A and B are shown apart, each in its own frame.
Chain A
Amino acid sequence: MQTLPKRGFWARNQRRLAPWLFLAPGIAFFLVYVILPVFQSFNLSLYEWDGLGAKEYLGLRNYEDLYWEFVDRDAFFISLKNNLIWLFLYLLAIPGGLFIALFLNQNVWGIRLYKSLFFFPFVISQVVVGLVFAWFYDPAFGLLNVALGWIGLGPINVLGDENLVTYGIIAAGLWPQTAYCMILYLTGLNAVDPEQIEAGRLDGAKGLRMLWHIILPQLRPATFIAFVVTIIGALRSFDLISIMTQGGPFGSSRVLAFYMFEVALSEYGFRMGYGAAIAVVLFLIMLCFIAYFLWSMWREEKGH
């Protein structure tokens, strides 16, 4: 009787082992630098720690201090309020991007270059965007005030006004974000089924009705991604605030992301535990969205 030649352990099991082999380095990196730190931050938020000496266990004291604003008057709730303003107003990038995409979705000479140039702001670093807009708003020479001067309106110091500053920074942020949404919609519009448009035209649908009933439903994947990246962008707002105002004037343009950095790593002192507590609050806000995104993606996976 002939026996099959004995194959090695690897040859017999490679189908089962190969995925883990390929995953190992990626998972290791991701666990150490992303997943574990999330839990470490949760833990750290229960302590007081200056980053060097011994940690002192406080329980939920850091969170109580946040709530009662025991350590910094108003700072936490102003940041939280600004985060909400960012979240809502940043969403304007989605209709804005759609509008520009519709405007540019034509076949005239040079349109490709126009599309690229409209997309341009997204490629530039936020640091430069922040600088550019800080000058744009400058009360002495900024283009904004030059333009306002033409129509007889007095100079306004957008970044120096407690009531305007957050809106001014959001406007700067909307510039690249709208460009991003635009490119998503341009790609989406490219893939819209022409037969459905023709059918719609035969039924007498035009303009807004056509957009609403026939085009937008087909743009849903683009809208979903635009929504995801815009929410994330809004909650990650840090660079612009840091460059344009440093959270000022009088802390009125802080958001949680910036406030956390200020508490934990700036000249205001190294209060890592308190900073971690702020980060946890920000994380929990984000978690609502992450859960929603994952749920949508999971439904998609099951649908296949």
Chain B
Amino acid sequence: MFPRPIEKSTPAARVAYKTLLPVALLFWLLPLLAVAVFSVKPDADFTSGNYWGWPSSFEALNNYGKVFFASDMPRYLLNSVLITVPTVIGAVALSTMTGFALGIYKFRGNLLIFFMFIAGNFVPFQILMVPVRDLTLEMGLYNTKTGLVLFHIAFQTGFCTLFMRNFIRALPFELIEAARVEGVSEIRIFRYVVLPLMRPAIAALSVLIFTFIWNDYFWAVVLTQGAESQPVTAGITSFNAQYRAAYHLMSAGSIVAALPPVLMFFLMQRHFIAGLTLGAVK
């Protein structure tokens, strides 16, 4: 293990390390803690200039209540769910198939197609912006959740294919050979041999794509406009415009908007990190 385990150092070093840990964490999360503190303060604290002092009263229920019951926030959250979940399902479904095709079969153009997916995954969004917006307009899907979902599925398929293909490459190929000898059709091999083995990859990708799409802002701004279809990342800006200078509400709103991926991360941590660090080790 590197660096040297702290248990093997002097007791003084151990104590120093254990005190440094929470202090470092406190500094690291300071901007976020500030927002959390803001979100439980009453309005009066901001007008009286008590930004960083002890809250004069705890208004968490009140502030978060306003976010949930007196604003468009629930609607934006619902939109985010309705955009994110179908995208996850769509992108994972498409990429299990593309990953299977590119990982199992040897054919001309295999590597070329694989590299097309990787390269496409890296392009700047702006080079896609005008044509994709135009296409969405032409299909009559501008300012709809469907329009956003279709684009997200397509774009995420690039990254997902990279992930799935490499995962399938690492599976024992003998299983597929054995099934072929038995005369199992290729489609049934996919369905009954490979797909069950891909569960960990599917879990990891789902959590990861959920976070990416939930946090998307650019495409939300380009392809949607109003409260009926905008996800929460775009909604929060309108929310903030509505409550300009109401820092307690803006903070509460931001925390609500940020929460779902955070929960997802803490609940599915192992899968999340497995997905993110794919390829970071040999």
Interface residues of B in 144-179 (CB under 8 A from A): 150-151, 153-155, 157-158, 161
Do A236 and B254 touch across chains, with their CB atoms under 8 A apart?
A: no
Q: In the complex the two chains form, is B280's CB within 8 Å of A283's CB?
A: no
A116 at interface (Cβ–Cβ under 8 A)? yes
Stretch at the interface among B56-64, B66-74, B109-117, B196-204: B109-117
Q: Nearest residue in B to A258 (C-beta to C-beta)? A: B126
Q: B131 contacts which of A26, A44, A191 (Cβ < 8 Å)?
A: A44
With A41-B130, A44-B131, A282-B126 as contacts: A35 and B116 at CB distance below 8 Å: yes
Among B133, B186, B247, B281, contact of A187 (Cβ-Cβ < 8 Å): B281
A131 in contact with B131 (CB, 8 Å): no
Query: Number of A residues whose C-beta is below 8 Å from B?
Result: 103
Given A41-B130, A131-B254, A260-B129: A33 in contact with B151 (beta carbons within 8 A): yes
Inter-chain contact A114/B21, CB cutoff 8 Å: yes
Which B residues lie within 8 Å of A197 (CB)?
A: 1-2
Task: Note all chain B residues with C-beta closer than 8 A to A33.
Answer: 128, 132, 135, 150-151, 154-155
A190: B residues at CB distance < 8 A:
281
B18 in contact (CB, < 8 A): yes
Interface string of A30-41 (1 = CB under 8 A from B): 101111111011
Asked if B31 and A143 make an inter-chain contact with CB atoms under 8 angstroms apart, the answer reads yes
Neighbouring A residues of B79 by C-beta, 8 Å: none
Q: Which of A69-107 contact B (CB under 8 A)?
A: 102-103, 105-107
Q: List B contacts of A215 (CB < 8 A).
A: 2
A156 at the interface (CB under 8 A from B): no
Question: A4 an interface residue at 8 Å Cβ cutoff?
Answer: no
| Interface-central residue, A116, A118, A141, by most chain B CB under 10 Å | A141
* B217 A239 Cβ-Cβ under 8 A: yes
Q: Which of B127, B185, B217, B261 has the most CB of A within 10 A?
A: B127
Contact with B along A110-135 (1 / 0, CB 8 A): 01001011111101111110011101
Q: Once bound together, how far apart are the Cα atoms of A156 and B5, in whole Å?
A: 42
Contact A30 B117 (CB under 8 A): yes
User: Bound state CA distance, A56 and B101, in angstroms?
Assistant: 43
Determine whether the beta carbon of B122 is less than 8 Å from that of A290.
yes
Q: Is the CB of B158 within 8 A of A30?
A: yes
Q: Which residues of A contact B82 (CB under 8 A)?
A: none
Taking the nearest CB of chain B, how far is it from the CB of A208, in angstroms? 11
A18 cross-chain contacts in B, Cβ below 8 A:
101, 105, 186-187
Complex Cα distance, B253 from A111, in Å, reads 30
> A286 touching B123 by the CB < 8 A rule?
yes
Known: A22-B98, A35-B120, A128-B258. A183 touches B277 (CB 8 A): yes
Please tell me if B193 contacts chain A, counting CB pairs below 8 Å.
Answer: no
Chain A residues near B266 (CB-CB < 8 A):
116
Interface string of B1-23 (1 = CB under 8 A from A): 11101110000000001100100
Q: Which residue of A lies closest to B136 (CB)?
A: A33
Contact with B217, one of A117, A119, A127, A135 (Cβ below 8 angstroms): A127
Residues of B within 8 A of A151 (CB): none
Asked if A301 is at the interface (CB within 8 A of a chain B CB), the reply is yes
Task: For B49, list chain A residues within 8 Å (CB).
Answer: 141
Is the Cβ of A26 less than 8 Å from the Cβ of B161?
A: yes
**Cβ contact within 8 Å between B124 and A282:** yes
**In the complex, A264 has a CB within 8 A of chain B:** yes
Q: Judging by beta carbons under 8 Å apart, are B186 and A120 in contact?
A: no
Identity of the chain B residue whose Cβ is nearest the Cβ of A272 in the assembled complex: B130
A106-B6, A114-B25, A143-B31 are known contacts. Are A26 and B95 too (CB-CB below 8 A)? Answer: yes
Give chain B nearest CB distance to A150 CB in angstroms.
12
A127 pairs with B257, CB closer than 8 A: yes
User: Could you list 23 A-B pairs, sorted by A, with CB under 8 Å?
Assistant: A11-B185, A23-B97, A23-B101, A30-B120, A35-B120, A41-B129, A108-B21, A114-B25, A116-B269, A117-B29, A121-B28, A124-B262, A135-B34, A183-B276, A188-B281, A210-B2, A256-B126, A265-B222, A275-B129, A279-B130, A283-B123, A290-B122, A297-B118
